[in-house]
Amino acid sequence: MFVHSTSNNHRRKNTLKVVKLVRFCHNHQKKFGDQLKSKNKTARINELLCKIIAYNITVLIAEMYELGIKPEFCNLSAEN
């Protein structure tokens, strides 16, 4: 009898989402470059993660303008 593990299914779904995002960024967002320049494995992973973060930021900014959202940031003045 086979029992499904919900934690393994959850991990698998998250992994598939990340793979889909990486493929989407690679195929459709040429503004970040279509190749990784780094030669070291760790550097390549970091470069890819930076490209994903940059893509996510551009999506957030586009949605902010499309939906008319005005973000409120903390006032970090020197006043105490």
Task: Report the candidate in 18, 70, 73 with the shortest Cα–Cα distance to residue 48.
Answer: 18
The predicted pLDDT at position 32 comes to: 67
d(CA 17, CA 45): 17
The DSSP call for residue 31 is: G
The predicted pLDDT at position 1 comes to: 44
The predicted pLDDT at position 11 comes to: 79
Task: Report the candidate in 46, 53, 9 with the shortest Cα–Cα distance to residue 32.
Answer: 53
The predicted pLDDT at position 48 comes to: 84
Residue spans of the domains in the chain: they are 6-67
Residues 6+ apart with CB under 8 A from 54: 32
Q: What's the average pLDDT block by block, 10 residues per block, for the chain (80 residues)?
A: 61 76 62 77 88 83 90 70
